[in-house]
Structure 1
Amino acid sequence: MATDLKYDYLLIGAGIMGMTIAYELKKAEPDARIAIIEKEQNVAMHASGRNSGVLHAGFYYSPDSMKARFTRDGNKLMKEFCRNNGIKVNECKKVVVAQNEEELKALFELERRGKENGVELYLVNEEELQKIEPNAKTYKYALFSPTTATVDPREVCQVLKNDLLNKGIRFFFNSGYIERNGNNVITKSHIFNARFVINCAGLYADKIARDFGFSDSYTIIPFKGRYLKYSGEVRPVSTNIYPVPNLENPFLGVHYTITSKGDIKIGPTAMPAFWRENYKGLSNFRLNEFLEIIYFEGKLFFRNAFNFRKLAWSEIKKNNKKYFAGLALSLVKSVDASKFDQWLPSGIRAQLLNKESLQLEMDFIVEGDENSLHLLNAVSPAFTCSFALAKFIVQEKLRLGNKVDLTTSLSSTGTI
Structure 2
Amino acid sequence: MMEDVSTVSTAPSMVPARRAAYDCDVLVVGGGIVGLSTAYALTRARPGTRVVVLEKESGPARHQTGRNSGVIHSGVYYRPGSLKARFAVQGSAEMVKFCAEHGIPHQVTGKLIVATEREELPRLHALVQRGRENGIPVRELGPAQIAEYEPHVNGLAAIHVGTTGVCDFGAVAAELARLASDAGSEVRYGAEVAVVDRRPGVGVAVRTTAGAVVRARALVNCAGLYCDRVARLAGDAPPVRIVPFRGEYHELSPARAGLVRGLVYPVPDPAFPFLGVHLTRGVDGSVHIGPNAVPALAREGYRWSTVRLRDLAEVLGRPGTWHLARRHWRYGAAEVRRSVSKAAFTEAVRRLLPEVEAEDLVPAPAGVRAQAVGPDGTLVDDFLITEAPHTVHVLNAPSPAATASLPIGREVARRALAALDATR
TM-score (norm 1): 0.90
> Match of 1:50?
67
> Match of 2:102?
85
Does residue 248 (structure 1) correspond to residue 267 (structure 2)? The answer is: no
2:315 to 280, 286, 293: 293
Q: Structure 1 residue 281: deviation in Å?
A: 5.2
The superposition leaves residues 334-391 of structure 1 with CA deviations (integer Å, 9 ceiling, x where unpaired) of 3344211x21111100000101x21111111110034010001111111111011112
C-alpha separation in 2, matches of 1:31 and 1:391: 16
Q: Amino acid of the residue matched to residue 21 of structure 1?
A: T
Provide closer, same or farther for how the CA distance between residues 400 and 293 of structure 1 changes in structure 2, counting only shifts above 3 A. Answer: closer
Provide closer, same or farther for how the CA distance between residues 274 and 296 of structure 1 changes in structure 2, counting only shifts above 3 A. Answer: farther
> Match of 1:269?
292
The superposition leaves residues 311-333 of structure 1 with CA deviations (integer Å, 9 ceiling, x where unpaired) of 22112112222221221111135
Give RMSD over aligned pairs.
Answer: 2.3
Does residue 352 (structure 1) correspond to residue 372 (structure 2)? The answer is: yes
C-alpha separation in 1, matches of 2:77 and 2:35: 25
Gaps of 5+ in 1: 404-416
Q: Secondary structure at the match of 1:261?
A: coil
C-alpha separation in 2, matches of 1:363 and 1:114: 17
1:179 to 174, 177, 195: 195
Q: Amino acid of the residue matched to residue 89 of structure 1?
A: H
Q: Secondary structure at the match of 1:274?
A: coil
C-alpha separation in 2, matches of 1:5 and 1:146: 48
Kept in 2: contact 1:92–1:258 (CA 8 A): no
The superposition leaves residues 271-307 of structure 1 with CA deviations (integer Å, 9 ceiling, x where unpaired) of 1112211113554x432222122334895278612x2
> Match of 1:170?
186
TM-score (norm 2): 0.88
Gaps of 5+ in 2: 1-12, 15-20, 199-203
> What's the % identity of the aligned pairs?
33
1:161 to 174, 177, 192: 177
After superposition, residues 380-395 of structure 1 pair within 5 angstroms as 380-395=399-414
The superposition leaves residues 108-137 of structure 1 with CA deviations (integer Å, 9 ceiling, x where unpaired) of 111111111111222222222222222222
> Match of 2:139?
122
Q: Secondary structure at the match of 2:66?
A: helix
Q: Amino acid of the residue matched to residue 374 of structure 1?
A: H
- Segment of structure 1 superposing worse, 129-138 or 105-114: 129-138
The superposition leaves residues 159-196 of structure 1 with CA deviations (integer Å, 9 ceiling, x where unpaired) of 22222222221011111111212321111231111111
C-alpha separation in 2, matches of 1:329 and 1:128: 19
Q: Amino acid of the residue matched to residue 368 of structure 1?
A: E
Q: Amino acid of the residue matched to residue 365 of structure 2?
A: P
Provide closer, same or farther for how the CA distance between residues 388 and 302 of structure 1 changes in structure 2, counting only shifts above 3 A. Answer: closer
Kept in 2: contact 1:214–1:367 (CA 8 A): no
Kept in 2: contact 1:255–1:268 (CA 8 A): yes
Q: Amino acid of the residue matched to residue 387 of structure 2?
A: G
> Match of 1:95?
112
2:251 to 205, 220, 229: 229
C-alpha separation in 2, matches of 1:297 and 1:82: 43
Q: Structure 1 residue 64: deviation in Å?
A: 2.4
C-alpha separation in 1, matches of 2:359 and 2:319: 33
> Match of 2:37?
20
Does residue 368 (structure 1) correspond to residue 387 (structure 2)? The answer is: yes
> Match of 1:9?
26
Q: Secondary structure at the match of 2:23?
A: strand
> Match of 1:310?
330
- Segment of structure 1 superposing worse, 93-102 or 65-74: 93-102
1:323 to 344, 365, 371: 344
Q: Amino acid of the residue matched to residue 392 of structure 1?
A: E
Kept in 2: contact 1:121–1:145 (CA 8 A): yes
Q: Structure 1 residue 50: deviation in Å?
A: 0.7
C-alpha separation in 2, matches of 1:387 and 1:400: 20
> Match of 1:258?
281
C-alpha separation in 2, matches of 1:396 and 1:169: 18
Tell me the number of residue pairs that the alignment of Structure 1 and Structure 2 aligns: 397
Provide closer, same or farther for how the CA distance between residues 119 and 213 of structure 1 changes in structure 2, counting only shifts above 3 A. Answer: farther
